[in-house]
Amino acid sequence: MMIRKLFLLTLLPAVLFFQSCGPENVVNPVTPPSTGTEDPQKPEDPPASTSADAMLVCTFNIRYANTADKFPDGTSAAWSVRAPAVKKFVETNKPDLIGLQEVRKEQSQWFSSTFGSEYGYYDVCRDNASGSSVASAGGEGVGLLYKKERFELVLKDFFWLDDKPRERPAQNSDGTYGAWNSACRRVTVYAELKDKKHNNSIVWFFPTHYDHKSDAARKNAAELMITQMKALCKVTDLKNAEPVIIHVGDLNTTPENAALKPLFDNMSNSRDTAESANKYQSTFNGFGDSSKIIDFIFYGGKSVKPVKYWVDIADYGVPFISDHYPVLFQWEYQ
């Protein structure tokens, strides 16, 4: 009996570690209308635009690499099992921009090597003070990919989600981080890009991952994102800005939560403005155990004409390619 107790005490921290940064206490408030017409198009339909310079943006929480995850049938959902399906997703949809969350070392190396000929890749470890890539620093981070054929990279950088975004948040005595008492350190990566398909128009891309426990930290993050995007992009009105500004990520809360009000007030939510293929589809699936809308694509820029939004639930050869579905948004210049 004593041995069994010691075993359980040893196992518990590991279990808590694997669950430490997943969505917590979020409930999906969005229900489809009762008309039965909420999904007029199949999610596997091709993008609606035929414009030569239409742009496809994706946000995708890939689920950090571990060997403990299981599909509903009990088989392994480890990254090595899911990676070929993720590759098929990217090759099928060919997004112009992709924002990634929960990137671990082997995943960072995999994305840069697998797609390096077609995409530029950049990620940052959230815990490394120098802003090193997850591929070298380890840990976990946020990343982005951009099509090299389409874009010329002007700059890439990152900042932390905290009161002092250029300083790594210190760990507090209670185990939280920074002034916002976040459960984990959180970062935003971003890139300024010239769109070679559209007269070198400027496109800013800001992928991130909000805190999973603190509503106050999420609200602060949303406010900081607005402040940072305005400052970095040198605009005062995001919705009517000259450049295109796109903010994507796993925001770890649902659309009606007041924490996201700064984003809804200052930007447009693609899910609301685009002609949606499956508007009421959850974005977090928990490998079959959950149903929540917590992943978003917000945008600004007066030249953006929203065309189509969808959550990709297509079959890529495994039951789930992640515990989140990829979210996609297609738009045209107007």
Q: pLDDT tens across 199-225, in order?
A: 999 999 999 999 999 999 999 999 999
pTM: 0.89
Kindly indicate the confidence band of residue 289, based on its pLDDT and cuts at 50, 70 and 90. very high
Please tell me the distance from the alpha carbon of residue 12 to that of residue 22, in angstroms, as a whole number.
16
Q: Return the beta strands (E) in the chain as ranges.
A: 55-61, 97-104, 119-125, 140-147, 151-160, 187-195, 201-209, 244-250, 268-269, 275-276, 295-300, 304-311, 327-333
Give the DSSP H/E element, type plus range, for residue 7.
helix 2-19
Closest CA to 161 of 182, 135, 176, 138: 182
Task: Express the helix, strand and coil content of the chain in percent, nearest 5 each.
Answer: 25, 30, 45
Separation of first and last alpha carbons in the chain: 70
Please tell me the distance from the alpha carbon of residue 334 to that of residue 240, in angstroms, as a whole number.
12
**What CATH number has the domain bearing residue 253?**
3.60.10.10
3 state SS of 255: coil
In a domain, 89, yes or no: yes
CA dihedral 62→66→68→69, nearest 10 degrees, is 10
In a domain, 265, yes or no: yes
What is the per-residue pLDDT across 250-282, written as a single tens digit (0 to 9) for each?
A: 999 999 999 999 999 999 999 999 988 788 999
In a domain, 25, yes or no: no
In a domain, 19, yes or no: no
Better-predicted residue by pLDDT, 279 or 89: 89
Kindly indicate the confidence band of residue 125, based on its pLDDT and cuts at 50, 70 and 90. very high
Asked if 304 and 241 touch (Cβ cutoff 8 Å), the reply is no
Domain with 159 in it: 50-333
In a domain, 184, yes or no: yes
> Structurally, how many domains does the chain consist of?
1
In a domain, 10, yes or no: no
Better-predicted residue by pLDDT, 120 or 22: 120
